[in-house]
Amino acid sequence: MLFKIAFRNVRRQIGNYLIYFVTVSLTVALLFSVNNLILSEFMDELSEEIADFIQPILLAVVGIMAVVIAFVLGYATTFLLRRRKREFGVYLTLGMTRRDVLTIFAGETGITFLVSLGMGIVLGLGTFQVLVAVFMNFLEQPYEFVAYSWSGSLLTVVMVGVMFLVASVASLLYLRFAKISRLLQGESTAPRTVKYPLLWLAVAVLSAVGLAASVSLFTDWLESSDFFERVDELALYIAIFFLSAGFLPVGLSRSILWLLLRFKGLSGRGAGIFTVRQLSARLNASSLMMGVLSVLLVVAVIGPNAFFTYNATIDADLDQHYVFDIESDRSYFSELSYEGDLEIIGKYAEIEDACIYTIYEQTQYDEDGEFSSSDDYIAVKDVSYLCAMLGYTMPETDGKYVIVDILAFAPDGAADETFSFDESKKGDAISLGGVQYECAGTLYYYNTFLFSSDRLYAVPDAAVGFLRAAAEKDKAERPSDGTYVPPEPFSVNTTAADNLVVDLADGHYDAYAMLEELRSYAQSDPAQNGYTNYSVRERDRMYQLGQIALFLLGDLFVSAVFILMTMAMLALKILSMIAEDRERYRMLWRLGASEGMLGRSLFAQMFFFCFLPFVVPLALCFPLVPILEYTVQGSALALSSGAIAAQVAGFAGVILGLYAVYFLIAYLVARLDIRRTLRAVG
């Protein structure tokens, strides 16, 4: 019988439960997708080390968010109760016991929750695959169906169940102990006027100043060269920022409408004064909530924008750090040939060009056998080939040597160049194997990521022959087990280490597998100290993308939860308030306010109420653009402010779009509610 009443009530109260239903369904879908993603085989697509590191973090984030959702839904449930407390008061006066009423309400919310759970899981089945597709696309891999995870699905159901219990507690306690007279009273007591409006105006102004100051100070901090040593200052700026973001809506809620009321000419026409007074009372009663929601939305706006901006710079940063698709250096002990490496690489991707070159290092010792100096040499033809691979044609050297200076940055005026050549050292000479070689000039290479030394001597073939012979002789004399032998006084030691650079025709391939095979091949080196280093651009890109993808997943999840919860709170709270205002609307209608006028008043109240928490996050988008622009300035790709502005605006647009959906639903439900009240007999 009681469940029949509960079921019938849900059917009749469909409008009231719509926001609740939509919110819980979307939340369940979100939880289902994220839990499945974390616990499914999708994680195997990423490297094991990332998954092992991030999986527990993501699960912790989901757990914390579930607690937040439970409390928000609990708060939302009390709004639903407020809309109908008169009805429950009537049940009690008709002779129902508290237990009956509690059963009815628990039954209603339980039915809504179960239906939402079902709908959420159905939605989640789709959104999970969409999420997988988005992430595979993010990782630049083709979409493949990923099986659902039983543990992820079960975790979702358990979480939602616990959330329901937590969310119901507050309302059930209220119903258990509320006096019948209070329930029958329905409306809340007459809203009081704002106390100390000037003080709250000062709080609003101070918060606005605090917000601007913290953003400005943060920018200065970011631009300073020693910001890592001033982390305590950063903590202070962040504290000021979030306090200001929270207190600005609180101050505005309690002062701006008071200001408006002082100029009655602005609000004294039509239902204006009614609108402003209603809003003033409502905002005053909800100002703290406005502050909290504003802070949540600020977090929701900053996080994804920061991650998306960082993501956009990954490729550019890799371009700078990786001159070639694959780079490798091998110790001079090694007895392996790079031909074997090229064969392995060729299995995974088409090789466009490759260069195997040798770096000769000649070390001189003093009279005590201590290190005196060291020079690095390379064949001039190898430098010429490397230059050609990088799109630069080196000048002819005519049997002379060239100094290769490696610098971090091009000098002013040559910012876009990678290489430059001048004759500043022309005429200098070096002696190798008793032969004098003349210098043809200096080649400047503005990138420190290819060669480990800052200066190389690119020498002609004859000198290379001498160096190779010297290196082979020294190697033969060294113990093969790597035992250290102190150098002789005034001795010269020469080593020859092979290097490989490869350009690939294919952008994307299974870099993880390739690197694994290359490392396995390197381990087959018969030399005891024959290690080989590999730098594979695609593998690093996949690693970074995988890392950011999961962090982004966590961050987007938090943002989505915050945004959803904010919308739901605002919509349900304003609906519960409008329900309490029914009689006021009816009174106004009887006095001659048209339905259109009441509709406009309702719209203005709801819009302003729901929009206030968005003021700070949306205003924040303006300084966010230059700040994000600055943070990526150090990277290889300094994103244009236009591109960042488009991204920030896009994200703000998504939030506003969601807001519009919730607002529209809430407005239509409220309008219907008011129309029904006006149409009621008497």
Q: Which residues bind other proteins (CB under 8 A)?
A: 189-191, 193, 264-265, 268-274, 277-278, 280-281, 583-584, 587-597, 681-682
**Which of 57/587 has CB closer to other proteins?**
587
- Residue type present at position 90: V
**Which of 292/678 has CB closer to other proteins?**
678
Nearest approach in angstroms of CB 85 to other proteins is: 18
**Which of 267/559 has CB closer to other proteins?**
267
- Bridge-partner residues for 371, per DSSP? 365
Site of tokens 């999420």: 131
Angle, vertex CA 351, rays to CA 347 and CA 356, nearest 5? 105
- Compute the residue count for the chain: 682
Of 471, 449, 522, 273, the C-alpha closest to 358 is 471
**Which of 142/596 has CB closer to other proteins?**
596
Nearest approach in angstroms of CB 72 to other proteins is: 27
**Which of 193/393 has CB closer to other proteins?**
193
Query: In the 8-state DSSP scheme, what is residue 40?
Result: S
Of 281, 282, 276, 279, the C-alpha closest to 261 is 276
Nearest approach in angstroms of CB 578 to other proteins is: 13
Nearest approach in angstroms of CB 118 to other proteins is: 38
Of 116, 95, 93, 92, the C-alpha closest to 105 is 92
What DSSP string runs through 369-427? S-EEEEEEEEEHHHHHHHHHHTT-PPPP-TT-EEEEEE-SSPPTT-TT-SEEEE-TTTT
**Which of 289/598 has CB closer to other proteins?**
598
Nearest approach in angstroms of CB 589 to other proteins is: 7
What DSSP string runs through 543-611? HHHHHHHHHHHHHHHHHHHHHHHHHHHHHHHHHHHHHHTHHHHHHHHHTT--HHHHHHHHHHHHHHHHH
**Which of 142/592 has CB closer to other proteins?**
592
Nearest approach in angstroms of CB 174 to other proteins is: 23
Nearest approach in angstroms of CB 279 to other proteins is: 9
Query: In the 8-state DSSP scheme, what is residue 41?
Result: G
- Measured CA distances, 260 to 32, 280, 598 (Å): 46, 10, 20
CB 249 within 8 A of CB 288: no
Nearest approach in angstroms of CB 278 to other proteins is: 5
Structure tokens at 2: 């009681």
**Which of 526/682 has CB closer to other proteins?**
682
Of 146, 156, 152, 83, the C-alpha closest to 118 is 156
Nearest approach in angstroms of CB 198 to other proteins is: 17
**Which of 230/264 has CB closer to other proteins?**
264
